[in-house]
Amino acid sequence: MSAMQGLQQFSASRQAANAAEAEGNFRNEQAKIRASEAIQAGDARASDQALKARQLAGLANATQGSSGGTVGVGTFGLLIGDIEARGAANVDQERLTAAQQANSLLQGGQLQQFAGENRASAIRSEGIAGALSSGATVATKWSAFKGVTAPPKPLASGGK
């Protein structure tokens, strides 16, 4: 491989390494966006669960009040407490699920970033090895060339 080919290969490997690193960073940023979307979707599902629990508790209160009973007392009071507790548990479960999904996405993104950095490092190492090999080839050829066409020896000073 000539010195020029070695330099071209080194330049190409630098570009490929930068591209691999950029791809890893891009995938990590995309994972962060998807994680944020997962949290938002979980919050929306949690809000929906809370609304359903309030609607059901309101329906139970309305039913008890329309039948002439005191709202929130006795069996209906226990039922409303259970509805509210289950609603709160559903809200917490939705948020937990969203947080777990987001965490998984973030970890996957970090792994993709690390993989890109590792690919970039390997490509850079190959480029450096190629450049060193080219340099060694040039040095070997120069040594061979130098031995054939040695410069003339200098004249001794002060003598004839």
Positive or negative CA dihedral for 14, 20, 23, 29? negative
Going by C-alpha positions, the residue among 119, 122, 111 that lies closest to residue 20 is 119
Hey, where are the domains in the chain?
A: 3-141
Residues in Cβ contact with 134 at an 8 Å cutoff, skipping those fewer than 6 apart: 1, 2, 3, 5, 6, 7, 9
**Would you state the pLDDT for residue 137?**
72
**Would you state the pLDDT for residue 66?**
85
**Would you state the pLDDT for residue 127?**
84
Tell me if 123 sits within 8 A of 13, measured CB to CB.
yes
Tell me if 106 sits within 8 A of 27, measured CB to CB.
no
Reported as a pLDDT band with limits 50, 70 and 90, residue 156 is: low
Residues in Cβ contact with 2 at an 8 Å cutoff, skipping those fewer than 6 apart: 134, 137, 138
pLDDT in tens, 36-67: 999 999 999 999 999 999 999 888 888 888 88
pLDDT in tens, 124-146: 888 888 877 777 776 676 666 66
**Would you state the pLDDT for residue 149?**
53
DSSP structural state of residue 52: H
H or E segment and range at residue 18: helix 3-66
Q: 0.85 exceeded by the pTM?
A: no
pLDDT in tens, 70-103: 777 788 788 889 999 999 999 999 999 999 999 9
